[in-house]
């Protein structure tokens, strides 16, 4: 068996006296770390840095303004040297060794009885990395592990039962591609005990959950709501009150036509802590997947998001005001007729993006007069986002006769290469 002279452990220094010898920046950093651990810190140094003076003036540590004396190590549990003078640090280390007190010698890591690792804390998980006395290597590794935990690439979920109260996180998962969830949302998903999942959103991430994470399906389709909203609200509260970390994983953004406000309010009314994590809303991101901006200089300065046919009467019937229809495939013909009747020109470009960002994404582009026939002929189906307005001209999928000399702030009518990842149907 290979013998290593390092035994990784963690010291619990709450209320215990410790000694820092030195008054410079390194001593200040070490003193702050020891204070964070709850230790009673004494600093011995003839001169102290501004950072140490601030801590001393606040009464957080004791500064003894003189040079080191051997008696300073008496009755302490831990010693940190950081004088910058190798001879002084060696003397402190030797005195601590004689009294069997663990000491970190900042001047000579090879001769040091203990090493201070590079440390990070993520959700009460302490990451401590020693790298053979190479502090920069240790810090780089620490940062990489911390980032992986923060982003959910490494498991951060509790394995032992916790006495903490449960909680609910309403997480917007974006339009469906697992790479479009936010870092915060991905991290919370990795910590979840229970996931209450919609039909849309990053479904692939559910496959990465630990086997004992419960997934409760509450997905809806147009006209079919097997789990009514009132029951979803009760599920969230009930699971949280059992002490579970609950993630309500939604498509898009929970506060954009996602009924997240209702769920958050219900949780608060029942004393459940709730967090809302914004997501990439499909109303903006799915058109972008087809190269369609919802606003564009010279074409459109504003946009409206509409989910119901009756709402169309309230939006400007102008090609320079983008109209985005969500869940609008079933009423597309009547919606187009309503907009035309309100004065929107029948040659206004219309784009439909199905399954945005997914491998089966499909883009259909036509006009207000033709789009309903095209959609029926090709079997356009939800999930789909419909974009109506001159901004559709900017799409690389738009036919050449849609492009005009005023739609771009760069070279007008510049040739564009269609994206190979999507099927395109145009007039």
Structural domain boundaries in the chain: 17-116, 167-280, 283-426
Identified catalytic residue from 32, 143, 153, 220? 220
Torsion of CA 246, 248, 249, 251, to 10 degrees: -170
**CATH number of 17-116: 3.40.50.720, 2.102.10.10, 3.90.650.10, 3.40.50.300?**
3.40.50.720
Helix (H) or strand (E) holding 231: helix 229-241
* DSSP H helices in 279-378: 282-289, 332-341, 371-378
Before 66, cis peptide (omega within 30)?
no
Look at 417 and 98; give whichever has higher pLDDT. 98
301 among known catalytic residues: no
Q: Could you read off the pLDDT of 349-382 as tens digits, one per residue?
A: 999 999 998 889 999 999 999 999 999 999 999 8
SS3 207: helix
Q: Choose the catalytic residue: 72, 198, 253, 390.
A: 198
Is residue 198 part of the annotated active site? The answer reads yes
SS3 at position 282: helix
**3-class state of residue 196 by DSSP:** strand
367 near 346, Cβ under 8 Å? yes
- pLDDT at site 54: 94
Write out the CATH class of domain 283-426.
alpha beta
Give the helix, strand, coil percentages of the chain, each rounded to 5: 30, 20, 45
Average pLDDT over residues 238-267: 93
For the segment 165-173, the average pLDDT, to the nearest whole number, is 93
Eight-class DSSP state of 276: E
- What percent of the chain is predicted at pLDDT more than 90? 58
> Does residue 421 surpass a pLDDT of 60?
no
For residue 53, pLDDT over 80 is answered with yes
- Length of the chain in terms of residues written: 427
CA–CA distance, 389 with 420 (Å, rounded to integer): 24
Mean pLDDT of the chain: 87
For residue range 175-215, list pLDDT tens digits in order. Answer: 888 889 998 999 899 889 999 999 888 989 998 888 889 99
Q: What CATH code is assigned to 167-280?
A: 3.40.1010.10
Alpha carbon distances (Å) from 215 to 152, 189, 212, 327: 17, 11, 9, 25
């Amino acid at each position: 068996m290979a013998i290593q002279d390092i035994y990784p452990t963690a010291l619990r220094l709450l209320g215990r006296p410790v000694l820092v010898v030195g008054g410079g920046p390194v001593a200040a950093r070490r003193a702050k770390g020891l204070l964070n651990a709850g230790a009673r810190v004494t600093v011995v140094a003839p001169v102290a840095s501004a950072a140490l003076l601030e801590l001393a003036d606040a009464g957080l540590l004791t500064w003894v303004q003189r040079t080191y004396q051997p008696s300073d190590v008496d009755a302490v549990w831990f010693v940190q040297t950081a004088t910058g003078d190798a001879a002084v640090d060696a003397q402190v280390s030797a005195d601590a060794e004689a009294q069997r007190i663990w000491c970190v010698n900042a001047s000579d890591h090879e001769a040091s009885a203990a090493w201070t690792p590079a440390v990070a804390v993520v959700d009460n998980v302490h990451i401590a990395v020693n790298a053979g006395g190479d502090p920069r290597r240790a810090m780089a590794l620490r940062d990489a592990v911390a980032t992986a935990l923060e982003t959910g690439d490494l498991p951060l979920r509790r394995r032992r039962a916790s006495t903490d109260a449960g909680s609910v996180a309403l997480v917007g998962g974006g339009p469906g591609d697992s790479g479009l969830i936010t870092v915060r949302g991905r991290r919370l998903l990795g910590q979840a005990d229970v996931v209450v999942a919609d039909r849309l959103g990053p479904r692939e991430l559910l496959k990465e959950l630990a086997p004992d994470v419960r997934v409760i399906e509450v997905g809806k389709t147009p006209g079919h709501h097997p789990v009514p909203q009132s029951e979803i609200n009760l599920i969230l509260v009930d699971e949280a009150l059992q002490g579970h970390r609950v993630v309500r994983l939604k498509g898009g953004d929970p506060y954009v036509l996602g009924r997240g406000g209702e769920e958050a309010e219900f949780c608060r009314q029942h004393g459940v802590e709730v967090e809302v994590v914004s997501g990439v809303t499909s109303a903006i991101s799915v058109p972008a997947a087809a190269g369609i901006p919802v606003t564009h200089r010279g074409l459109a300065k504003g946009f409206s998001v509409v989910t119901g046919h009756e709402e169309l009467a309230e939006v400007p019937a102008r090609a320079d005001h983008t109209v985005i229809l969500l869940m609008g495939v079933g009423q597309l013909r009547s919606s187009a007729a309503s907009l035309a009747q309100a004065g929107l020109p029948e040659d206004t470009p219309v784009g439909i993006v199905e399954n945005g960002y997914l491998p089966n994404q499909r883009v259909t582009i036509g006009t207000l007069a033709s789009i309903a026939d095209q959609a029926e002929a090709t079997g356009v189906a939800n999930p789909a986002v419909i974009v109506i307005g001159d901004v559709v001209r900017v799409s690389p999928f738009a036919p050449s006769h849609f492009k005009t000399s005023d739609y771009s702030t760069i070279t007008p009518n510049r040739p564009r290469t269609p994206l190979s990842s999507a099927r395109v149907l145009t007039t």
